[in-house]
């Protein structure tokens, strides 16, 4: 066997990954509701159809959705939409500690706040996009106001009330967050909640980004209030009715629903339970392999599924391969220009929050 010598291999630093609110494409507005105020970040042309997002525990619109909605395929899709990112009270970056006498809204009251958001921006209806606790909030709003939600994309959504094990762990977490701040135990639980197990082996850099974020940019007291509200959630009480004559009187999600989870997520069984309670004629369950936090670890798979879901509802025209290739080429050329400009400046200090996410070409989505 001949020896092959590799020459002229240029070492490249991974593209800097930061979680920053300094994005010129987003405009933040504070919306007053019946239970305090919420921060809403608007991304895109407001004359376009609206997508409303809601984040999970320990996150906000920046840490929960910035990377996914800046992904190349999603940027191509979002030329046709305007995104309204809702952040739960006190969960925005740099939020002051809520007063001691502040009574945090329940999950139903958090969903009621969305009516004020839609009214503030003059939105008649939206497409819901939620993860974890945010998916539960959107599902509650969709049940109470089915005419306001045209379609619903939910990730790791739990439809039942908290079990004793979850309740016990989260009660301990809230106690530590109030008295000691972000302890190692709380940090480990948050990492498990979002990524499942074995994350260090899958993507060590991504783990460091989120560990650093939870330690430095999350208000512990405010997070404790949000967690406490989440574990006090009630059952959604939705049922699957197969009798066509009784479907109109059934308490269920009547709009099209795509229910997504990661194969390594700790919430797979919860999504299966929810799938068994939904109407199979207007819902789809999707499990994506080799990931726990699907928006971070498999953005290509989720963006493709979301695009096809919207195409099925008639919101966007199918994208041809040539059009997608041209858009990706233009985006890469823009990134190349930025990279050349950065090489003209002194080399930056690369911290643990710099990552390079690479899609696994072997992974395949499993749709049932």
* Nearest Cα to Cα of residue 299 among 127, 87, 82, 131: 131
* pLDDT at residue number 293: 94
* pLDDT at residue number 325: 66
* pLDDT at residue number 77: 81
Encode 64-79: b = buried (16+ Cβ within 10 Å), e = exposed.
bbbbbbebbbbebbbe
* pLDDT at residue number 147: 93
Which pTM was predicted? Answer: 0.83
Where helices occur in 26-82 by DSSP H, the ranges are 61-69, 72-77
* pLDDT at residue number 9: 46
DSSP state of 142: H
Mean pLDDT by 10 residues, the chain (368 residues): 53 48 77 91 92 96 91 84 95 91 94 96 96 97 95 96 93 94 93 86 84 93 96 93 70 92 95 94 93 93 93 75 64 53 45 36 42
* pLDDT at residue number 19: 57
- Record the tokens describing residue 267, joined without a space: 């919430």
Rounded to whole angstroms, the Cα distance separating 156 from 87 reads 18
User: What are phi and psi for residue 196, nearest 5 degrees?
Assistant: 80, -155
Q: Give the C-alpha distances (Å, rounded to integers) separating 352 from 302, 336, 367.
A: 26, 23, 35
* pLDDT at residue number 333: 59
């Amino acid at each position: 066997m001949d020896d092959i010598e590799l020459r002229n291999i240029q070492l490249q630093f991974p593209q800097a990954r930061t979680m920053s609110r300094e994005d010129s494409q987003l405009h933040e507005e504070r919306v007053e509701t019946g239970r305090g105020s919420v921060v809403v970040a608007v991304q895109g042309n407001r004359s376009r159809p609206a997508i409303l997002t809601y984040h999970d525990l320990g996150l906000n619109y920046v840490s929960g959705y910035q990377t996914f909605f800046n992904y190349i395929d999603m940027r191509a899709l979002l030329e046709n939409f305007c995104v309204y990112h809702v952040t739960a009270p006190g969960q925005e970056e740099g939020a002051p500690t809520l007063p001691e006498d502040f009574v945090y809204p329940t999950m139903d009251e958090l969903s009621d706040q969305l009516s004020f958001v839609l009214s503030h921006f003059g939105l008649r209806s939206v497409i819901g996009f939620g993860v974890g606790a945010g998916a539960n909030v959107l599902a509650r709003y969709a049940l109470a106001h089915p005419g306001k939600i045209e379609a619903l994309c939910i990730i790791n959504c739990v439809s039942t009330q908290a079990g004793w094990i979850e309740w016990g762990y989260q009660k301990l977490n809230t106690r530590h967050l109030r008295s000691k701040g972000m302890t190692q135990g709380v940090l480990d639980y948050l990492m498990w909640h979002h990524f499942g197990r074995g994350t260090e082996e899958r993507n060590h850099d991504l783990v460091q980004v989120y560990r650093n974020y939870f330690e430095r940019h999350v208000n512990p007291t405010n997070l404790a209030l949000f967690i406490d509200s989440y574990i006090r959630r009630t059952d959604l009480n939705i049922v699957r009715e197969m009798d066509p004559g009784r479907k109109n009187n059934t308490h269920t999600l009547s709009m099209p629903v795509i229910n997504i989870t990661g194969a390594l997520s700790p919430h797979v069984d919860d999504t299966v339970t929810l799938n068994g309670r939904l109407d199979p004629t207007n819902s789809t369950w999707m499990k994506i392999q080799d990931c726990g936090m699907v928006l971070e670890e498999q953005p290509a798979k989720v963006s493709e599924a979301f695009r096809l879901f919207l195409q099925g509802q008639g919101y966007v025209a199918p994208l041809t391969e040539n059009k997608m290739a041209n858009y990706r080429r233009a985006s890469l050329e823009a990134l190349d220009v930025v990279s050349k400009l950065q090489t003209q400046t002194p080399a930056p200090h690369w911290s643990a929050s710099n990552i390079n996410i690479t899609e696994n070409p072997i992974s395949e989505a499993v749709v049932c």
